[in-house]
Amino acid sequence: MAEVSIGVMVDGLGGGPVKVDVPPQSNFFEVLKALKAAGHAKGLNALAVLVDGVAVDLVATVPGSSAVPVRFLTFDDAAGQEVFRHSTAHLLAHAVSRLFPDVLPTIGPVVEEGFYYDFAATPFTPEDLERLEVEMRKIVAEDLPVQRLEMTRDEALVAFASNRFKVQMIREFEDGSITAYRQGDFIDLCRGPHVPRTRMLKSFKLTKVAGAYWRGDQKNEQLQRIYGISFPDAARLEAHLKALDEARERDHRKIGQEMDLFSFHDEGTGFPFWHARGMVLRNTVVEYWREVHRKYLYNEILTPAILNMSLWQTSGHYDHYRKNMYVTQIDEVDHAVKPMNCPGGLLVYKSRLHSYREFPLRVAELGAVHRHELSGVLHGLFRVRSFTQDDAHIFCTPEQVEASVVETIRLVFEIYRTFGFTDVHVELSTRPLQGSIGSDEVWRVAEAGLEAALKSQDIDYKLNPGDGAFYGPKIDFHVKDCMGRSWQCGTIQVDFSMPDRFHATYEAEDGTRKIPVMIHRAILGSLERFIGILIENFAGKFPLWLNPTQVKVLPIGDKFSDYAKQVGDELVRAGLRAEVDLRNEKLGKKIRDAQMQHVNYQLVCGAREAETGTVAVRMRSGEDLGALPLAEVIARLKDENDRRVL
């Protein structure tokens, strides 16, 4: 029998591809079996396979050419993880169809927190989730084969005739073969790939139920969304669930309430209300931000919140953000509340003539922006309808782009280090395939400038082809918190197009008028979201320099209140944030309350302290430093605060 020779790349082997010989029309199970027989794939738990960069099922037929690159996917690959969790979403839908036969499945994608599946159903209860998990385990135990089916549009319309959502999707598909997957008595539309058998989906947990709308449009039918998570083994699932428990304890909404930082109200859904202590935290972050930006020679501006709609049409934001913009009329002319600061910054730039001698011109703005987010996606400070962007725009010549981006990268890392974020992942995103503005040449120059800046700093980065902004390529910065969660915060975007749309110019060295390059950048991203990240990263136990209440002065009884007030006044005069607890409570309760509020230091004032001009110092950890002279304590705290010790 003639044989096909195919080069197979297996994760973890090291070196180059391993070549195995398999008969024609073999599937990738046979390839995997041959690899294992040769000792190359011991312990490899493959879920699917990449063929020339495209993920396919393990039961797919091996291509006839040995030149096609092949790599098996495991759960440790992002693509393999997606296969596993999307297969678990189908497992959930299968269980729902058995227990609730009148419910209509719609879609079930993989998301950052696991997977979900939307159903046209009455609300599910926690007891329903428990029953569904039991049924899912039964389907796993049945070890059903998962089969890929290819249908014509007419065949698919017949197969899914009882589900109006699937019918709508099928009618919208382009002509050609439609794929579905079957496991036992359940069939669902899907591009795939999937795991080959249900027995592989052993460890999962349904985590919550939420409301949703068909295709995310609140004008459409309301659905019930079930979220879940899955792993190949119980140990990883258990570790993940423990991490979720810790995340719940660190939830910034819970801690924000305990520390009296902010609140949300039905009278302004999605709009945060900052309390006095929250404003101290917010202003501390802002003051540091301003200090660093002064050092890097930025000028700060502020632009209006509401601007004429024609501005947003000129900038291109109208075409891309219209459904998320708040609109109004002023003097019978359409206006919009700004969703971005950039166009206003361009108007400021255009208010006078600029020379190349001013470049690079660095202009920063802490601008409040508003975007209409669906109520179902609002989430504390992480997803709000009003937030403050720490925007800045650098106007420069094309020759200055690389140096300006390098300087900005250094600024980004300096700020992140101060807040304790040292694990930063960087991504470079290039021109979108559709909807972008500007010529091929300016995009090529912009992308090259960003790439050169990253390479000059020896920064490892991931390339995201086609994921840039509509007006330019970008570098995104993802910080990792103490729980290993990644947050996209900073961004640098090179824009040759928007200054051209606004007819912004500068006087060049040769006396001609030229169009500047505009570098958009943010470091914290959304100030509100960044503060939420800080709260969860520190679990409310802020370093001294960030804490809204750094010191609590605790008198032992009323007769020492005057001395406690005197201590509090001296702390405040020294620039420290101190509060005196004058409540008629026992000392033990005052200490416990201060620790619950995550105050860094508690200074106890009694008879001996009042007599000697000292304070008994207790730290947030519970460590007792004993009685120390007040001047010494103030000097120690000022040093810790001024150096922004973490």
Q: Are 429 and 396 a contacting pair, CB within 8 Å? A: no
Catalytic residue, chosen from 190, 342, 489, 605, is 342
Catalytic residue, chosen from 391, 481, 495, 581, is 391
Catalytic residue, chosen from 335, 371, 385, 590, is 371
Measure the CA angle with vertex 452, ends 449 and 455; round to 5°. 150
Residue 389 bears catalytic tag:
yes
For the sheet with 551-555, list strands across it.
578-580, 551-555, 601-605, 614-619, 624-629
Token pair in block for residue 300 = 């700060």
Residue 202 bears catalytic tag:
no
Q: Are 636 and 642 a contacting pair, CB within 8 Å? A: no
Q: Are 600 and 625 a contacting pair, CB within 8 Å? A: no
Residue 329 bears catalytic tag:
no
Catalytic residue, chosen from 86, 385, 393, 552, is 393
Token pair in block for residue 48 = 């699917």
Buried b (16+ CB within 10 A) or exposed e, 259-298: bebbebeeeeebebebbebbebbbebbbebbeeebeeeeb
| One-letter amino acid for residue 161 of the chain | A
Nearby residues of 94 by Cβ (< 8 Å), 6 or more positions away: 136, 139, 183, 184, 186
Catalytic residue, chosen from 389, 550, 597, 602, is 389
Catalytic residue, chosen from 71, 370, 474, 529, is 474
**DSSP per residue over 57-108, as a string?**
-TTSBPPS-TTS-EEEE-TTSHHHHHHHHHHHHHHHHHHHHHH-TTPEE---
Token pair in block for residue 298 = 């930025």
Q: Are 134 and 204 a contacting pair, CB within 8 Å? A: no
**DSSP per residue over 20-61, as a string?**
EEE-TT-BHHHHHHHHHHTTSSTT----EEEETTEEE-TTSB
Judged by DSSP in three states, 291 sits in helix
Token pair in block for residue 341 = 């600061």
Residues 467 and 454: their CA atoms lie apart, in Å, by: 17
Catalytic residue, chosen from 94, 370, 520, 618, is 520
Residue 320 bears catalytic tag:
no
Residue 393 bears catalytic tag:
yes
| One-letter amino acid for residue 295 of the chain | K
Active site residues: 342, 371, 389, 391, 393, 474, 520
